[in-house]
Amino acid sequence: MKLKVQDHPGLYRDSKSKGIVVDDRRSLDRYLAERSYRQSLNNANQSLETELSELKNEVTELKNLVQQLIRER
């Protein structure tokens, strides 16, 4: 049996499982699209953070090599 959730049209409580159920397919599709978009942004951010970390390491390595060359002169 579906029981309407007060002040939330399109939401119902399943009387057996006591879970909240979305009855609006468009809302579900919108939620899934937004979740996918957030995940892709998160993946892009993680990729950029990894690349930035690698670049920092390379700059540090180059800096150390330049300092070593200066000391050897």
pTM: 0.60
**CA 23, CA 15: separation in Å to the nearest integer?**
15
Q: How confident is the model at residue 23 (pLDDT cuts 50, 70, 90)?
A: confident
Question: With pLDDT > 90 as the criterion, what percentage of the chain qualifies?
Answer: 63
pLDDT reading at 2 higher than 90:
no
**CA 66, CA 50: separation in Å to the nearest integer?**
24
Helices (H), 1-73: 25-72
